[in-house]
Amino acid sequence: MAESTRSRIINPTDIKWNDAMPGAPMGTIPGVRMKLLWSDPPTKRTALMIRFEPGASPPMHRHVGDEILYVIEGSIEDDAGAVTAGNLGYRPNGCSHQVKSRNGATVLAVITGGAEPSKEIGNTPRSQIISLSELPWHDGIAGVRQKRIWEDNAANRHVALARFEPGASLPRHRHTGEELLYIVEGSHADESGEVTAGNLSLRPNGCEHAVNSRNGATTLAFLWGEFKGGVAHLTLNRPDAANAINLEMARELEEASLKCEEDPAVRAVVLTGAGKMFCGGGDLKAFAAQPPAELPAFLKKTTFYLHEAIHRFARMRAPLVVAVNGNAGGGGMSLAMAGDIVLAVGVVDIFSAADYRVAQIDGPYAHESDADGARS
């Protein structure tokens, strides 16, 4: 059965407190309880409500991935300072710290990845405190204002606070990415029902709905993979591995190409790479890590998804703009050549292949380009 694209209301009062999450590396933490509100195992994303008793202090740990949290009540602190009620904290990938709450706190945490025990802070990224009162409001749709809290453009992730005036409404729209919404105060409603203060709403990719707020509301939105003004922004996001294509990335490219091809709201697609490289081609380390007997099947799976993605990108209705921000080698070259417009962003030597046969690794889906970037 196909997964529903309707919005879903999450009521924390219906979810029990746990002393630890299944598989949590640090086990039970005295004075700390959690509610698992939502999770997406394939992308290692989790939303938790965490209750700190007065004096609770989890052991020092290191973030493998990142975390953004909103303090609902009370305060928590680490070496960067205290995050008080109504404000947010951001813990970047690699951040090592020890958290404590002198007088207790309740926190909403959205985590990508996880955490592992750590013995020292060392020279690691520090956590950040985000004070909402210092951020300006921006006018949007009539009756709705927004504060842009945090964004990760490379991965198309955003966090925003929205204020709905009484009677404000959003016209019917389609989500081309996911949204997890927390109602800070007030309420708003769609076809799935009314979401009241302290509850959440999950809007999955493909969700179509209209939203209204009879008496006003303040909402905190966590968004992934949003489309802006009909333009889909896609980023190859493995900068530490030269954005090399492994099986997971190939599969995600195929899924993204399908969404871009089938969604009539997408009028253009922009593809680029995170970091200094556009794409180094196939992930040779991932290939070498496979048992010899399993390698042929692994290569077939990876190239199948990549071929399908390039095929769709090259032939879909919406034009593809490829912003090549560094070297494009092997399969990365073929991916770049699928673009209707190919732009070199701040580099000179961008395309590379060991020889013609390597350049043609993507077979019929490899393309040549003239000086204007048009496919031939």
Q: What gap in Å lies between CA 121 and CA 170, rounded to an integer?
A: 45
Tell me what pLDDT residue 123 has.
87
The strand pair at 231-236 and 268-273 is best described as parallel
Q: What is the CA radius of gyration of the chain?
A: 23
Name which CATH class applies to 135-227.
mainly beta
Q: 25: pLDDT confidence band, cut at 50, 70 and 90?
A: low
Q: What is the mean pLDDT of residues 262-282?
A: 83
Q: What gap in Å lies between CA 333 and CA 327, rounded to an integer?
A: 9
The count of residues in the chain is 376
Q: What is the mean pLDDT of residues 12-40?
A: 84
Q: Is the pLDDT of residue 358 over 60?
A: no
Are the folds of 8-132 and 135-227 the same? yes
Contact partners, residue 236, CB within 8 Å, separation at least 6: 243, 249, 271, 272, 273, 274, 278, 279
pLDDT in tens, 135-150: 999 876 778 899 989 9
Domains of the chain, by residue range, sit at 8-132, 135-227, 229-365
Tell me what pLDDT residue 364 has.
36
pLDDT in tens, 45-71: 999 999 999 999 999 999 999 999 999
Q: What gap in Å lies between CA 89 and CA 312, rounded to an integer?
A: 40
Fold of 8-132: Jelly Rolls (2.60.120)
Q: Which residue in the block uniquely carries the two structure tokens 């692994």?
A: 298
Lowest mean pLDDT among 162-171, 261-270, 335-344, 352-361: 352-361
Q: Is the pLDDT of residue 160 over 70?
A: yes
Phi, psi of 112 (to 5 degrees): -115, 115
Q: What is the mean pLDDT of residues 162-172?
A: 90
CATH number of the structural domain 229-365: 3.90.226.10
Tell me what pLDDT residue 90 has.
97
Q: 77: pLDDT confidence band, cut at 50, 70 and 90?
A: very high
Q: Is the pLDDT of residue 217 over 90?
A: yes
Tell me what pLDDT residue 349 has.
55
Tell me what pLDDT residue 311 has.
93
Tell me what pLDDT residue 206 has.
83
pLDDT in tens, 168-181: 988 777 787 899 99
